[in-house]
Amino acid sequence: MLIARWQIDARFGHKQSVIDAIKRWGEEIAPQVGLKNGQLLSGSIGALEATVEHNWPVETLAELERAWAQLASVPAHKQWSKDLEPVVVSGTSRWSIFRVV
């Protein structure tokens, strides 16, 4: 089991907009590519307050790669990305993969 962690930082004053957008992505787009049971977190103590992260449990890297490959064919994902851009800090998006032990 792996946890695929996607992080991004909200622009000052836009954290709730980022949270709302990521919640919507998790409800509407993630199921289309086989991602389920995501967990949404935001920075609080010892982390950047602007950071919003979405953790996705996956069994294998192959499962995650399939999901990523399918995202390119989901028109709603492309539009979602464009809508998100004005409220996030450019260049802060990143994926980290953790192994559950």
Map out the domains of the chain as residue ranges.
2-99
Written out in words, the top-level CATH class of the domain with range 2-99 is: alpha beta
pTM: predicted TM-score of the whole model, two decimal places: 0.90
Nearest to 34 by CA among 63, 73, 6, 76: 63
Average pLDDT of the segment spanning 54-73? 96
**The token pair that represents 89 in the structure block:** 């800090």
User: Helices 15-28 and 75-84: crossing angle, nearest 10°?
Assistant: 170
Radius of gyration of the chain from Cα atoms? 13
**The token pair that represents 13 in the structure block:** 């004053």
Yes or no: say if 13 and 87 are a contact pair by the CB < 8 Å rule. Answer: no
Percent of the chain with pLDDT over 90: 99
Q: Could you tell me the pLDDT band of residue 33, with boundaries at 50, 70 and 90?
A: very high
CA atoms of 48 and 63, how far apart (whole Å): 30
